[in-house]
Structure 1
Amino acid sequence: MKKKRAFGYKRRSPRSEKDFGNTSLEKQEDEIIKYCEMNDIELVDVYVDDLKSGSSFKGRDGFIEMYNRVVKEEEDIDYIIVYKQDRLSRDPLDTLYFMKQLNAIDKHIICIADSINTEDPTAKILVHVLSLVAELEREFISFRTNSGMEKKAEDGDFLGGKIYGYEVINKKLSILPDEAKIVKYIFDKYVSENWGYKKIAGNLNIQGVKTKHKKEWTTTAIKTILQNQIYIGNIKWRGKYTKGQHTRIIEQTLWDQVKFVMQARSFIPQKKNPGSYPLSGLLRCPQCKGIMVQGNSNPQNKYYQCNKNKCSGSSVCKSNLVKKEYAEEYVLQDFLHRLKNKVSASVVYSVIKSILNYELNPLENEASNLKKQIEKLEREMLKIMEHSSDPLLNLDREMIRTQLVRKQNEIIKIKTIHADITMQIELKQNDSIMDIIEFSIKNFEDFYHTLSDDEKKLFFHSVIKEVHVTEEEKPKDRRIKEVIYHFDLEELNRIVKS
């Protein structure tokens, strides 16, 4: 008899209270190893996500890598083993979807402490119950934490975090003299010398002054300092300010002057160069590796620019301009090449059909229930009409008419809902889906050019992780070096086929 094979999975939450009742990563792994030894299961590998939330699968690299290996036929894995169900996920829908995907390829989940093995059909109900319990526990923790924070805010206690100009001693804010001088410097330059955010940030960076997190100053960091009421002795909780117990750094008169200047300068700026920059945040500066954003361009020559240079000045990084038109056309053509050469229409069809079939079952059940309701109401109407013709009953005709009208209205209402659901079912069962997919892949470039500016940006950000640029002296010489996607299209094809 072939020996069963498994992957182990362990997770630790970023917040200790969310792991209440669970054990350390080491203990989780020990329990998984012990279980495999006792049940003659070969433990192939153990994956870990340390300090990762269980509210979703996003950002859990260990889990994602494990899942991709599980679905590969050559791995021949039978189980994923965890210490407790909530180590997989605290979201009931995520848990059930994951279990359904595994069961479809004859793979199963074992939760040791919960005595769950999804090979047993009855265990699936227990998984559902436990996942709901995990979600309720998460909501209870959130409620309890928020209640405690609200009480502290009412008392004027500091609620945590790093604040420039202060240090925390025994959970109380205490002024750091050197940093407090910088805070006063920012306020003074903004009011007395009429400096803008960028000039203040650039000046601090030239002097080698760092933020609380040992980073360069940016326009956002300066604006945050100038708007933070903690410097006039207040604390904030859920949008409301209360008097704090700490010592202020900025006097009320200076604060009021800053507020007045901000209001005087505030207006909705007109874009000098209207248009979309869909690769903002995706392009990486060849020098500092930070993101690139819309540059200070003109209508004839538009560029992407290093964000650090734009926000913090030339002392932090050069502008490293990249031509907008060139970059966007290159990235679009790279995607089209991959789409047409590496994506199989049949694979996309398979994924879509799987999703549609998953949605069809509840729709068909709902349609069936509605049909039964209609038939029941029609029988009741027929029965009322039969009784109305019986002279011995001597029924009130107005009352009968009212009952018939009411039931008829109910039937019309239900039939409308039934017709809508029936239409959805027919659309999901449409045999022309494959033709639509093939047409979309073939003509995707035409479709792209019909998108709005916001939709183009959303599209690029949904499929692309980052775009690397060559390091050259002149903008005209800079080229796209590499486009990195959120997923490997060839790998996606292979996984779905398996």
Structure 2
Amino acid sequence: MASRNWGKTQSKQQTAPRAVVYARVSSKEQEKEGFSIPAQLKLLSEYAAINGIRVVEEFVDVETAKKSGRTHFDKMMTYLRRHPTVRVLLVEKTDRLYRNLKDWVTVDDLDVEIHFVKEGTVLSYDSRSSEKFMHGIKVLMAKNYIDNLSEETRKGMLEKAEQGIWPSCAPLGYHNTDGPNGKKIIEVDPVAGPLIAKMFEWYATGRYSLRQLGVKARSHGLTFRKSGQPVTNSTIHKILRNRIYTGEFDWKGKRYQGSHEPLVTNELWSRVQGVLDGRNTSKLRGSSAHDFAFTGLITCGHCGCAMVGELKKKKYVYYHCTGFKGKCGEPYTREEVLEEKFTSFLRKLRFDDDVFEWVSRALKDSCADEKREHAEAIARLEKERNRLQQRIDAMYIDKLDGRVSEEFYDRMRTQWRDEQARCAKDIERHEMADDSYMDEGIELLKLAKDAHRLFEKQSAKEKSRMLNFLLSNCTWAHGELNAEFKQPFDSLAETAMIAAQASASKMGDSARFEKWLPELDSNQ
């Protein structure tokens, strides 16, 4: 009997879906905020056991995801490519798996079934378009969170610059240190600083070339701060051009008076610039200040090189292949022609108010499960918080009656108060997340609906930003533009096309919107 039961267990394990587990914290600090790796792995392991899923491998990352390239994320992608029988991926929630669009595309190409356990969502190739669209919104919001952090960092750096504080890593000749108000400032490096001042004096005499100055500086011991390697001639050239050694510095196109100690006078720095300029045998033309809307967006359909803008007769903008791989036969193209082609392509997203209402309804339906999950989570957390309060109250009576010591009471109360605080924080997170994805989804629908009209009214810079947001793989050949809509806008473009075809053939609403409405899903 025991042998038969063992055989059944083995058979179930062999037929159960095989999965990998992925857990991540974005920094060591998050370990202290309830996002710990053990907590994630425990949650995912319990989920797998309940749902009859066999976990064959675990992957863990403890690092930032500002850029793609997380070590174990990449290892997991390689593992899934090499094991086609493993088609399930378990992860806590969306922003644990990916924090940028590149990661999303990488995972999507593998065609795996992803279980976002805390969100109560399972995403696969067969998922409804509404579910894929809402998932795309979550990824965009995760990316927006990272972008906001970067923006706040840039704001902080700009604020430091306006206060006269160099906002980045100290250049050679200075070192970073803590200022009197706690902010990082730069101070003269007692070893490299005086040597760099001497370099300016030597070069200002005009008796040294950059190569000779490099030899002299290295012979006096000038090395890179971190590696200890001798400085290169190109680094010496950058030092001589850097205004920061005068006590002033340039940051984001604006000049600031620094609060740090200068190493050279403005007069000496100007003399050095004169010597440098006099030694330049080939003068480079200054770059045009013109903003080209489509530079960096299009590649040549013939050879794959970039298409770049060029100003002709100071008023006409033409685009042409760089010909980096050799001479290319694609002729120059006016910017107005490209703009018309992009506008026409964006019209594929256009749909009428009827479609807008139906798709909005689909989004609301797809959010229902998530809202229920949030409501259930809030109820569980409130119950736990009340249970902890009852414990504290009961233990207080025990303390008064002498059944527990005051030391034990204080220790347990502190522990339970901390747990209550975590519950309160989680409750707040669920309450704030309740409608955020829905609002973001409706805004993206509005953007898609009016994309072609908005595009025509934008400045060159805004046109570039909008196309980067909506499109990918743009190529130009034989006077024709080819491009692809990024997720989730590709689903909207497909819906708009189906709706247009359905209207033309007078098909019913069910046929027009079957791919979006949950109640019309054939699987239900």
TM-score by length of 1: 0.48
Give the structure, 1 or 2, with the largest relative contact order (CA under 8 Å, sep 6 or more). 2
TM-score by length of 2: 0.46
